Amino acid sequence: MRRVVVTGIGVICGLGRNREEFTSGLHKGRCGIGPITTAECLDLRFRNGAEVKCFNPEDHFSSKEADMIDRFAQFAVVAAREAIVQSGIEWTGELRENTAIVTGSCVGGQSTENQGFWDVYKMGKPRVHPMTIPKTMANAGASAISQEFGITGPAFTISTACSSSAHAIGQAFSMVRSGMSDVAITGGSEAPFSYGILKAWEAMRVISPTVCRPFSKDRNGMILGEGAAMLVIESLDHAQARGATPIAEIAGFGMSSDAHHITQPSAEGAAKAVRMALKDAGIAPEQIGYVNAHGTGTSVNDITETAALHIAFGDHAKRLAISSTKAMHGHTLGAAGAIETTAAILALSTGILPPTIHFNEPDPECDLDYIPNCAREADIEYALSNSFAFGGLNAVLALRRI
């Protein structure tokens, strides 16, 4: 099987509008959370979210293009452009045929759909915008990337709630490793801020009225976020042949399903995905130095994830450096796996581990090292990025410094 490396990273989210801002935000432990401005939320029990700041579509697209794709797909394209520029790829007809696009999205063009429903249900209008269906579909980001770069290889979208883009990267990794594709553009995007979906999250009673404090005893829920991260991945041979500089290696991928409960996570299920990722990478638990945790900041997730790490790592769990960067960029749902894998790759490549910010006090049930509040320098070879979705679908990526 071929080794698979990352040669380009693009990111846009509440913590930063590009790779440089995102990296600096991670290192400084900056908070990208603030009052939600792009959706109605006056009657909600929460006010805060991690929005992409000052996003003007016409800075990135012609007015006509911007009208044709939803915000979530715009984020996908913006991130893909940045990743492709960094990768230095020069497109040829053959390469366009041998490149795959695999994206993740949980809710697709939610704000477009919300607008259409608002028009007919609330305003009593007789028609919705004709682009509502193609703007709403979850694969709109993958299609927009394909059109932008003329990429004609396999392109599709995976939707597994909060694991969507981790599953997407895992799938793209498998395709490149097997030789099915030489290159893949993979990641995820999400733009979930619209009134209807915010009401739905309110009803689940898992959103914090303040900020996200993963693993801290006084945590009180998650904070929603939006954005995208895209990676250019390719076989090591392909990267070397064109003189590209690998940023990191994707070493392994593990998946599992809990077969347990639609919303309650299972420590055993999560631990199994971690073990599968280690096995796939061919490494021992002791070789992992950093874990970018799923760490949503809900009471149950953080306890269960801690238990899962104890199960999967045994005594080594206490020596792991772990952080949840969701405290900075929010829970970006279908983009979370990609944004957090990006954070883990940047931790390996820069030698600075991002902190878990807003950490106030240890919880006896969360008894590991969560890198509280301040970034930490560390020379780490292997890292994991954990994603555990509603529906009990788990995806863990193993990453290696190059």
Partner 1 sequence: MADLIQTNELTPRILRIVAETQRKDPSLVTVDSSFEELGIDSMDGINIIFALENEFNINVPDEEVKTIRSVRDIVEGVIKLVEAGSTPGESAPAAS
Q: Is 294 a catalytic residue?
A: yes
Handedness of CA 301, 307, 310, 313 (dihedral sign): negative
**Alpha carbon distance 106, 47 (integer Å):** 22
Of residues 189 through 218, those in contact with partner 1 by CB under 8 A are 203-205, 209
Which of 316, 222, 242 has its CA nearest to residue 92? 242
**Quick check: 105 and 138 in contact, CB under 8 A?**
yes
Helix (H) or strand (E) holding 174: helix 164-178
Kindly provide the b/e burial profile for residues 317-339, where b requires at least 16 CB atoms within 10 angstroms of the residue's own CB: beebbbbbbbbbbbbbbbbbbbb
Beta strands in 226-356 (DSSP E): 227-235, 248-257, 288-292, 321-323, 352-353
Question: Of the two residues 118 and 156, which places its CB atom closer to partner 1 in the complex?
Answer: 118
For the chain, first and last CA: distance in Å? 18
- Output the smallest distance, CB 216 to partner 1, in A: 16
Beta strands in 79-148 (DSSP E): 99-104
Question: Of the two residues 223 and 346, which places its CB atom closer to partner 1 in the complex?
Answer: 223
Q: Is 331 a catalytic residue?
A: yes
Question: Of the two residues 45 and 318, which places its CB atom closer to partner 1 in the complex?
Answer: 45
Which residue in the list 31, 162, 212, 366 is annotated as catalytic? 162
Among 24, 45, 85, 286, binds partner 1 (CB under 8 A): 45
Among 264, 319, 361, 367, binds partner 1 (CB under 8 A): 264
Which residue in the list 294, 329, 358, 366 is annotated as catalytic? 294
Which residue in the list 27, 167, 331, 358 is annotated as catalytic? 331
Q: Cβ atoms within 10 A of the Cβ of 369, count? A: 16
Of residues 221 through 240, those in contact with partner 1 by CB under 8 A are 221
- Output the smallest distance, CB 263 to partner 1, in A: 5
**Quick check: 68 and 86 in contact, CB under 8 A?**
no
Question: Of the two residues 1 and 262, which places its CB atom closer to partner 1 in the complex?
Answer: 262
Question: Of the two residues 175 and 393, which places its CB atom closer to partner 1 in the complex?
Answer: 393
Give the interface size with partner 1 as a residue count (CB under 8 A): 12
Query: Binding of partner 1 at residue 284 (CB under 8 A)?
Result: no
Any idea which residues carry the catalytic annotation? 162, 294, 331
Which residues contact partner 1 by CB under 8 A?
A: 45, 203-205, 209, 221, 261-264, 299-300
